[in-house]
Amino acid sequence: MTKTEIESYRRRLLAVKKRLGADMSCLEEEALRGIGGEASGGLSNVPVHPADLGTDNFEEGVTLGLLENEDQILTEIEEALARIEEGVFGLCENCQKEMSRQRLEALAYARYCVDCARKLQGGAKS
């Protein structure tokens, strides 16, 4: 892989990292807002209807799940950036072979080539 290609992936990873950071800030605000009552903009501490609390709780759970997922992706991006610095970016962590450009275009922070990823996920047929 050329230095130009690696630099292109580095810029792509940094752009995704920046976007996810902004997304996470918005999601954190959403997750931490109050449920029902004055904290959420209501006129009293009594929710309008018990179903509203259920909806708020569900939405909070979805938001927390999204935050967890985005945090995991940020971790993967940080580790991909570290692989660039170490000079091993684009090499499968399992078989040590160079990953295809298509794989890295689809998932720039990929750790494994497609074949190894399938095997590790149990998707390969014996």
DSSP 3-state assignment of 99? coil
Find out whether 16 and 23 touch, Cβ atoms under 8 Å.
no
- Looking at residue 122, its pLDDT comes to 85
> Are residue 102 and residue 51 in the same domain, yes or no?
no
Is residue 81 within 8 Å of 52, Cβ to Cβ?
Answer: no
Least confident of 32-41, 45-54, 77-86: 32-41
Position 38 scores a pLDDT of 47
Q: For residue 77, what are the domain limits? A: 3-89
Q: Residue 112 contacts by C-beta under 8 Å, 6 or more apart in sequence?
A: 92, 93, 94, 99, 120
- Residue with the larger pLDDT of the pair 93 and 125: 93
Count of C-beta atoms within a 10 Å radius of residue 114:
15
Q: Is the pLDDT of residue 55 over 60?
A: yes
Model confidence at 63, pLDDT cuts 50, 70, 90, reads: confident
Count the neighbouring beta carbons within 10 Å of the beta carbon of residue 9. 21
User: Domain total for the chain?
Assistant: 2
Same domain membership, residue 73 and residue 19: yes
Residues 74 and 110 in one domain: no
pLDDT value, residue 1: 86
Contact 36, 46 (CB under 8 A): yes
User: What is the distance between the alpha carbons of residues 86 and 10, in angstroms, rounded to a whole number?
Assistant: 13
pTM of structure: 0.70
Shared domain for 36 and 98, answered yes or no, is: no
